[in-house]
Amino acid sequence: MKILLLGYGKMGKLISELAEKRGHEIIAKISIENVEDLDNLDPEEIDVAIEFSQPESAVSNITWAIERHIPVVAGTTGWLDEWKRVTEFVNQKSGTLFYASNFSIGVNIFFKANEYLAKLMNDTDGYSASIKEIHHTAKLDAPSGTAITTAEGIINNHKGYDSWTLTQGEPVKRNSVPVESERVDPTPGTHIVKYDSPFDLIELSHTAHSREGFVKGAVLVAEWILDKKGVLNMNDFLSFEI
Ligand SMILES: NC(=O)C1=CN([C@@H]2O[C@H](COP(=O)(O)OP(=O)(O)OC[C@H]3O[C@@H](n4cnc5c(N)ncnc54)[C@H](OP(=O)(O)O)[C@@H]3O)[C@@H](O)[C@H]2O)C=CC1
Ligand SMILES: O=C(O)C1=N[C@H](C(=O)O)C[C@H](O)C1
């Protein structure tokens, strides 16, 4: 498989290593300093683009590839205010876009456990939900994409919540899930869901030991999407039954 890397930072470099180990060819490694190299690429020679760049460049990178009929695996977070516009564009062009806020299998199991826990908590009194995420200090967006997906999992499954609010401890509306972001090096990504009551505390957490889980998931998805169309996510890839 011939891969274009849109973004060649911490994630792009590790993806390049694993993809080459799995026998794939990297056609180009694009970062800010060589972004003009995109003009010299032949789209016919690219099977898939893997996009891990920055919130401000994700949308232009994705649309660049979709315009050229290149399927995109997108992992950059922090651009979802543009989600509707981007996905309409993908569908209009009959393109392929796979987005995941987190490509690790473990986090996707955590997402399912979070949804199930939120359903159980519906019938209880006195528990307040909250989310905390911890990442390295180079992270540009807050809260993390994973924390947003986690909050959506609560909102879609618990009648007591209809929104989330980024907070550093100050009070939030009763129907909003408070989300706190902390930046501590070298944390690859930690997410904690809490349901606290006057009597006890229930916690569900996921701690990444390294970036390897994200990297492996992104490469496996890139191999999987080659013959797929439309806007896809980890539920399409993993098809969990619970
Ligand atoms: N979905 C998931 O599972 C995961 C998502 N992420 C997300 O992926 C993104 C990247 O993370 P990470 O690799 O750690 O970040 P880095 O900051 O290490 O790397 C980002 C890279 O993007 C490059 N870049 C900036 N602008 C452009 C552009 N216009 N076109 C192409 N490349 C560009 C930067 O270039 P330069 O080096 O020249 O500055 C840099 O190489 C973040 O949004 C992060 O939140 C991270 C891990 C897992
Ligand atoms: O920026 C990171 O590093 C990560 N970003 C993703 C997110 O925003 O959720 C996924 C992972 O937690 C690492």
Bridge partners, 232 (sequence order): 98
> Would you state the pLDDT for residue 240?
75
**Residue 139 alpha carbon, nearest atom of ligand 1:** 45
**Residue 208 alpha carbon, nearest atom of ligand 2:** 12
Pocket lining: 95 vs ligand 2, CB cutoff 6 Å: no
Nearest CA to ligand 2 atom 13: 189
Domain regions of the chain by residue span: 2-103+212-238, 105-207
Q: How many residues does the chain have?
A: 242
> Closest-lying ligand to the alpha carbon of 53?
1
- SS3 assignment, position 239: coil
Neighbours of 181 (CB within 10 A): 18
Q: Which of 5, 6, 8, 11 to mutate to test the pocket of ligand 1 (most atoms within 8 A of CB)?
A: 11
User: Phi then psi for 206, rounded to 5 degrees?
Assistant: -130, 130
> Would you state the pLDDT for residue 36?
94
Q: Is 119 a catalytic residue?
A: no
How close is the Cα of 122 to the center of ligand 1, in Å? 38
> Would you state the pLDDT for residue 239?
80
Out of 93, 112, 119, 139, pick the active-site residue. 139
User: Phi then psi for 3, rounded to 5 degrees?
Assistant: -115, 135
**Residue 100 alpha carbon, nearest atom of ligand 1:** 1
Give the separation between CA 4 and CA 129, rounded to whole angstroms. Answer: 41
Kindly report the CATH number that applies to the domain delimited by 2-103+212-238: 3.40.50.720
Among the four given CATH numbers 1.10.520.10, 3.30.360.10, 3.40.50.150, 3.20.20.70, the one describing domain 105-207: 3.30.360.10
Residue 191 vs residues 182, 207, 208: alpha-carbon distances, Å? 10, 7, 9
Q: Is 135 a catalytic residue?
A: yes
Residues with pLDDT less than 70, the chain: 242
For tokens 């393109």, name the residue: 95
> Would you state the pLDDT for residue 92?
98
pLDDT tens by residue, 1-46: 999 999 999 999 999 999 999 999 999 999 999 999 999 999 999 9
C-alpha dihedral sign at 35, 39, 40, 45: positive
Pocket lining: 146 vs ligand 2, CB cutoff 6 Å: yes
Pocket lining: 181 vs ligand 2, CB cutoff 6 Å: no
Pocket of ligand 1 (CB under 6 A): 6-12, 30-33, 35, 52-55, 57, 61, 75-78, 100-103, 138, 214
How close is the Cα of 150 to the center of ligand 1, in Å? 22
